[in-house]
């Protein structure tokens, strides 16, 4: 496709070499501007043909693994789902995800999220597991509807990158973890809501959120973490008031 390769676009990529650089610097690369190329394809072209030292994370290239989140022209994006042509004539600034420590170039340290996620028990909790012979736990379409959108989360952390509260308060549990807690809380098969409550309604949980709403705006999968947090605030506040009025009614689990 000789005609296509004549068109090019500039990628300004943040480079950071640990132990050498004190802060990232932008390096420009000319990459072919092809119609079906995502930012990730541009970066792969750089690594294959222009500069093998460029480091970035990716896996599935189809918006499901959540590995390739980056800051594109200041916005958190999945680099596999963001196309070069949408930014033509460029240049396109590609930086690592904000609010995470940068390990190298476009690679960030995601340990903080990985330690927070299991704290909300993001799996189905049953007090008594019914025996396999009893069959599946049945669920109506309406019950599925309650939590389905939250189950679309791919842990890409774009929401953390967009959240100013998380940047100011690194202890904040954060959008995805709380949305995933709600994904199980709202599941008719789950009985773990009480177990999750301590973590969720701690000062580092829902109460730190000020409903900026950018987590939901940047989510590539249409999850609404901001809404999940507000809904849980209402639940937690109602429960606290109930407990204050009727201190004995709380179940002793």
Partner 1 sequence: MNRRSPEPFLWMLFSSGGMVAALMVPILLFLFGIAIPLDLWSPSHDHLLAVLRNPLTRLVLFGLCALALFHWAHRFRYTLYDGLQLKRYAVPIVVLCYGGAVVGSVIAAGLLLTV
Partner 2 sequence: MSVYQRPIHLLWWLERRAYVLFVLRELSSVFVAWFVVFLLLLVNAISDGAASYQRFVDWSGQWWVVAINVIAMVFVLLHVVTWFGLAPRAMAIKVRGRRVPARQVVAAHYLAWLVLSAVVAWLVLR
- Return residues touching partner 1 (CB under 8 A): 164-165, 168-169, 198-199, 201-203, 205, 207, 210, 233-234, 236-237, 239-241, 243-244
Other Cβ atoms less than 10 A from the Cβ of 63: the count is 16
The site partner of 60 among partner 2, partner 1, none (C-beta below 5 to 8 Å per kind) is none
* Single residue of 9, 16, 150, 184 touching partner 2 by CB under 8 A: 16
The rounded Cα 158 to chain-centroid distance in angstroms is 4
Sorted by sequence, the CB contacts under 8 Å of residue 112 that are 6+ apart come out as 100, 170
Q: Which residue has the tokens 């022209």?
A: 73
CA distance 56 to 107: 5
The site partner of 62 among partner 2, partner 1, none (C-beta below 5 to 8 Å per kind) is none
Structure tokens at 58: 């990716």
Torsion of Cα atoms, 239 then 193 then 147 then 221, to 10°: 100
Closest C-alpha among 101, 94, 88 to residue 70: 94
Cβ-based nearer residue to partner 2, 41 or 224:
224
* Single residue of 32, 63, 91, 213 touching partner 2 by CB under 8 A: 213
Q: What count of residues does the chain have?
A: 253
The site partner of 143 among partner 1, partner 2, none (C-beta below 5 to 8 Å per kind) is none
Cβ-based nearer residue to partner 1, 7 or 212:
212
Cβ-based nearer residue to partner 2, 34 or 104:
104
Q: Is 211 in the site for partner 2 (CB under 8 A)?
A: yes
Cβ-based nearer residue to partner 2, 91 or 227:
227
* Single residue of 133, 134, 136, 142 touching partner 2 by CB under 8 A: 142
């Amino acid at each position: 496709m000789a005609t296509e390769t004549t068109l090019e676009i500039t990628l300004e990529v943040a480079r950071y070499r640990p132990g050498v650089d004190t802060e990232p610097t932008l390096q420009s690369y000319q990459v072919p501007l092809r119609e079906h190329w995502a930012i990730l394809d541009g970066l792969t072209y750089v690594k294959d043909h222009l500069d093998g030292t460029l480091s970035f994370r990716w896996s599935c290239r189809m918006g499901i693994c959540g590995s390739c989140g980056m800051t594109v022209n200041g916005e958190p994006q999945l680099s596999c789902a963001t196309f070069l042509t949408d930014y033509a004539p460029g240049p396109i600034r590609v930086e690592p995800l904000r609010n995470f420590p940068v390990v190298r170039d476009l690679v960030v340290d995601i340990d903080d999220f990985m330690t927070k996620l299991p704290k909300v028990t993001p799996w189905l909790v049953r007090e008594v597991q019914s025996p396999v012979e009893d069959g599946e736990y049945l669920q109506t379409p309406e019950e599925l509807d309650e939590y389905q959108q939250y189950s679309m989360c791919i842990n890409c952390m774009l929401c953390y990158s967009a959240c100013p509260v998380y940047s100011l308060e690194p202890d904040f549990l954060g959008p995805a973890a709380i949305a995933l807690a709600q994904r199980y809380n709202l599941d008719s098969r789950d009985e773990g809501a009480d177990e999750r409550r301590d973590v969720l309604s701690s000062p580092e949980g829902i109460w730190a959120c000020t409903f900026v709403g950018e987590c939901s705006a940047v989510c590539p999968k249409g999850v609404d973490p901001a809404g999940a947090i507000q809904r849980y605030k209402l639940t937690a506040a109602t429960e606290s008031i109930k407990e204050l009025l009727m201190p004995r009614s709380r179940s002793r689990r």
